[in-house]
């Protein structure tokens, strides 16, 4: 299907990238690497490929600044996308079809191949215009963000290769905003914890009611579930009353296991919770609360972590962070406002912050509903093009911060 955008080189490069099925599970990143190397050649910029973990390449394209001694800017995105259920899509998810009304349908069109290409196109526009930036700009493309980034940004950020880049500030992904003139930025993230609480009791016949103070595994499990779900209801009420989703602690019961037969009191029952701890919560106090609940539930009630991510400090947005003030001014000068919030989920920026580097998640996608990971993930051509405009100004602003 021919469209009026067939001769738009920025759109066609974007579609070429979207057509690469870098989809979980078992991704082969080779086609992404080939595509990005081609972009680097066209830009006449050096490109490095680091394979810190086998079959998990990190691609870094570098545009050297005038003052090479200054800490550099990192523009990061991830190459991987989540799985698709093709039968639920209007168009094939890796065909990058543009509808008559200008919507590009593709997995990754929002999350987050659009941002990686905006980084490249912003640099392309600036370089072609003869602009020279004070600071060196590194454009990185990493693997496996959608499955936690362990073999991607986490490994890269802790490596000697990363340290040699002398990063002073990072831009990463945020999310689309349905409002026409507002852009979300994330300056921090909640902390992901996944726990399993195990409740043990004496087995017996299913017809019994254990006398005295003893509790069955089921009674103990009931107490634990009640505590977690009561806290969940309290946090959900905050959201219902207008609190930003990223500013509350979310708790979801995801698994219950145990028992051997319906007429036998189980010796052991377990329940699993996915928890995202709000950025302002004291982690030690939160863990002590869970320990207290387990003690109150009865003897032989314990919990263990399946995932215990460390608490990572948020980036402080104030006048001392001149990258932030430069970014905000550039966006405001274009007629847009910035809404800084805590990210409800998790991004690769947390690994950069963990290195003590300020990071802001910035996706200039306005007038767009959140469709990341959804069937029929799509983005309007005009939103993408406007995003490049905004990104160009943003990159120029942060890379020209004098000190």
Q: What is the pLDDT of residues 372-398, one digit of tens each?
A: 999 999 999 999 999 999 999 999 999
Instruction: Tell whether the model's pLDDT for residue 175 goes beyond 90.
Output: yes
SS3 (DSSP) at 235:
helix
Instruction: Tell whether the model's pLDDT for residue 156 goes beyond 70.
Output: yes
Catalytic residues: 80, 145
Q: How confident is the model at residue 84, as a pLDDT?
A: 98
Residue 23 per-residue DSSP state: B
Average pLDDT over residues 36-61: 98
Residues 398 and 401: their CA atoms lie apart, in Å, by 5
Q: How confident is the model at residue 403, as a pLDDT?
A: 85
Instruction: Tell whether the model's pLDDT for residue 1 goes beyond 70.
Output: no
Domains defined for the chain, CATH in brackets: 9-189+314-399 (3.40.630.10), 191-278+280-308 (3.30.70.360)
In terms of Cα–Cα distance, which of 244, 91, 236, 122 is closest to 177? Answer: 244
22: which 2 tokens? 């870098």
Question: What integer best gives the mean pLDDT of the chain?
Answer: 97
pLDDT digits (tens, 9 = 90+) for 89-139: 999 999 999 999 999 999 999 999 999 999 999 999 999 999 999 999 999
Instruction: Tell whether the model's pLDDT for residue 4 goes beyond 90.
Output: no
Q: Percentage of the chain surpassing pLDDT 90? A: 96
Backbone angles phi, psi at 144, to 5 degrees: 65, 20
In terms of Cα–Cα distance, which of 35, 31, 39, 4 is closest to 121? Answer: 39
């Amino acid at each position: 299907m021919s469209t009026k955008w067939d001769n738009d080189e920025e759109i066609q490069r974007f579609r070429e990238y979207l057509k690469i099925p870098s989809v979980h599970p078992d991704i082969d990143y080779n086609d992404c690497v080939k595509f990005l190397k081609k972009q680097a050649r066209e830009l006449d910029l050096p490109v490095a490929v680091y394979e810190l973990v086998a079959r998990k390449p990190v691609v870094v394209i570098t545009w050297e600044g005038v003052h090479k001694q200054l800490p550099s800017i990192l523009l990061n995105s991830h190459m991987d996308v989540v799985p698709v259920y093709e039968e639920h899509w209007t168009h094939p998810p890796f065909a990058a079809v543009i509808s008559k009304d200008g919507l590009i349908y593709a997995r990754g069109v929002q999350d987050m191949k659009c941002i990686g290409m905006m980084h490249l196109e912003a640099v392309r526009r600036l370089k072609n215009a003869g602009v020279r930036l004070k600071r060196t700009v590194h454009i990185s493309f990493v693997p496996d963000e959608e499955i936690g980034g362990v073999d991607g940004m986490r490994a890269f950020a802790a490596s000697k290769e990363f340290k040699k880049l002398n990063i002073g500030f990072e831009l990463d992904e945020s999310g689309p905003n349905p409002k026409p003139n507002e852009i979300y930025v994330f300056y921090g993230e909640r902390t992901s914890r996944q726990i399993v609480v195990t409740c043990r009791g004496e087995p017996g016949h299913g017809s019994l009611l254990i006398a005295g103070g003893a509790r069955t595994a089921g009674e103990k499990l009931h107490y634990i579930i009640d505590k977690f779900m009561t806290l969940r209801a309290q946090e959900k009420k905050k959201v219902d009353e207008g609190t930003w989703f990223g500013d509350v602690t979310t708790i979801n019961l995801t698994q219950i296991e145990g028992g051997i037969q319906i007429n036998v009191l189980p010796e052991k029952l377990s329940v699993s919770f996915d928890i995202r701890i709000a950025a302002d919560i004291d982690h030690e106090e939160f863990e002590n609360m869970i320990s207290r609940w387990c003690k109150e539930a009865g003897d032989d009630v314990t919990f263990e972590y399946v995932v215990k991510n460390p608490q990572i400090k948020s980036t402080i947005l104030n006048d001392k962070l001149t990258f932030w003030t430069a970014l905000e001014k550039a966006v405001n000068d274009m007629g847009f406002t910035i809404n800084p919030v805590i990210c409800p989920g998790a991004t690769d920026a947390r690994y950069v912050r963990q290195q003590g580097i300020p990071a802001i998640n910035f996706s200039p996608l306005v007038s767009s509903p959140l469709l990341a990971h959804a069937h029929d993930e799509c983005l309007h051509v005009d939103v993408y093009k406007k995003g490049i405009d905004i990104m160009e100004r943003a990159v120029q602003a942060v890379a020209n911060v004098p000190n």
